[in-house]
Amino acid sequence: MLGGKDNFAADRELAERMCTIDPGLPGLARANRDFLTAAVRRAAEAGIGQFLDLGAGLPTRPAVHHTAREVNEAARVAYIDNDPVVVNHASALLKRWISQVGGLPRANEGSWYILCAAAVKPG
What integer pLDDT is reported at residue 61 of this predicted model?
77
What integer pLDDT is reported at residue 102 of this predicted model?
42
| Least confident residue range of 27-41, 55-69, 104-118 | 104-118
At the second CATH level, the architecture of 9-116 is: 3-Layer(aba) Sandwich (3.40)
The answer to whether residue 65 scores a pLDDT higher than 50 is yes
Q: For residue range 67-110, list pLDDT tens digits in order.
A: 999 999 889 888 888 888 888 887 777 766 555 444 333 445 55
Find the Cα–Cα–Cα–Cα dihedral 92, 5, 38, 73, rounded to 10°. 30
Q: pTM here?
A: 0.74
